[in-house]
Amino acid sequence: MEQSHRRHMTGWVQHSSLIWQLAKREMAQRYKSSALGGFWVVAQPLIQLLLYAFVFQVVLRSRWGVTVPNTGREVPFGLILFVGILIHALLAEILTRGPALVVSNVSFVKRVIFPLEILPVVTMVTAIINVMFGFLILFGGFLLVHGTLTPMAFMIVVPLFFLVVLGLGLGWLLSAFGVYFRDLSQLTTHLSTILMFTAPICYPATMVPEHFRWLLQINPLTLPVESVRGMLFQGTPPDWSALLTYGAGAIVFAWFGNFVFRKLRGGFADVL
């Protein structure tokens, strides 16, 4: 078993270059038909942030009630909302594209030597790149308003990493099952929307009636969203016990998803 584990890890190291090449190709194809090209990687999240700020702060005059400890000033609603939108985007990318990853790459299925299990990884890498630019704009907006970031702000990589691991497990499951159940993509699109509105992204968790709080508790976005907001805006550490439990569960789920994918892979060519 130890030798099998070593071969598996060696394989991932060898595939890292291929993953990066495919991710770059996917990013290039996404913007190749636009006049501004890769500029949209920065422009899209910037437009989103400005739109949310205008709608929720200027028009609706919404308030979240989160203040920066050192200054006592309230964090703009648009910035708080933007955090949730960015974190949701990590999972939404794999939810909406996952079921079609293998089906849309039939030529790869016919190649025995091609590592199909890297397809969800490539999708997740492209999602990370897009979200990373979004967070850079978020940091810039926060610095513009409040002038400083707390040391704890840089620890947001921990909950984000755990969410990425969870997303990979989901990607392997969806891409494998999507070969056999072609309607799965219709379901996951709605699931992405459900996850967004049953997590404290557009509203504080305290606004949810007590008898509906379980919806937030079972939502995989809730803990990362609230942890990142607390660390970024208030410099407060997350509930490390809950976060590490979440991380352990994400790792187990990712292992399970990869296991199922490898078990089902043998039948892909017959179905496609």
Backbone phi, psi, residue 74, to 5° = -80, 140
Residue range 139-155: average pLDDT? 83
Residue 218 scores a pLDDT above 90: yes
Q: Can you tell me the distance from the alpha carbon of 120 to that of 260, in angstroms, rounded to the nearest whole number? A: 14
Residue 212 has pLDDT above 80, yes or no: yes
* pLDDT on residue 159: 96
Least confident of 62-71, 125-134, 152-161, 163-172: 62-71
Helix 77-97 to helix 184-197 angle, to the nearest 10 degrees? 160
Mean of pLDDT values over 241-258: 96
How large a percentage of the chain has pLDDT more than 70? Answer: 85
Say what the pTM is.
0.87
pLDDT-derived band at 244, boundaries 50, 70, 90? very high
Comparing 245 with 23, the larger pLDDT belongs to: 245
At 3-41, the pLDDT tens digits run: 444 555 455 667 788 888 888 888 777 766 665 555 666
Are the CB atoms for 118 and 22 separated by under 8 Å? yes
* Mean pLDDT (whole number) for 227-240: 90
Q: What percentage of the chain reaches a pLDDT higher than 90?
A: 40
What is the reported pLDDT for 162?
Answer: 97
Backbone angles phi, psi at 53, to 5 degrees: -60, -40
- CA-CA-CA-CA torsion for 12, 163, 161, 249, nearest 10 degrees? -80
Where does the pLDDT of residue 163 fall: very low under 50, low under 70, confident under 90, or very high at 90 and above? very high
- Residue whose C-alpha is closest to residue 115's, from 198, 18, 49: 18
Sign of torsion over alpha carbons 219, 223, 229, 234: positive
| Residue 164, pLDDT above cutoff 90 | yes
Residue-by-residue DSSP string for the chain: -HHHHHHHHHHHHHHHHHHHHHHHHHHHHHHTTSSSGGGHHHHHHHHHHHHHIIIIIIIS------B-TTT-PBPPHHHHHHHHHHHHHHHHHHHHHGGGTTGGGHHHHT-TTS-GGGHHHHHHHHHHHHHHHHHHHHHHHHHHHHS---GGGGGGHHHHHHHHHHHHHHHHHHHHHHHH-TTHHHHHHHHHHHHHHTSTTSS-GGGS-GGGHHHHHH-TTHHHHHHHHIIIII-----HHHHHHHHHHHHHHHHHHHHHHHHHGGGHHHH-
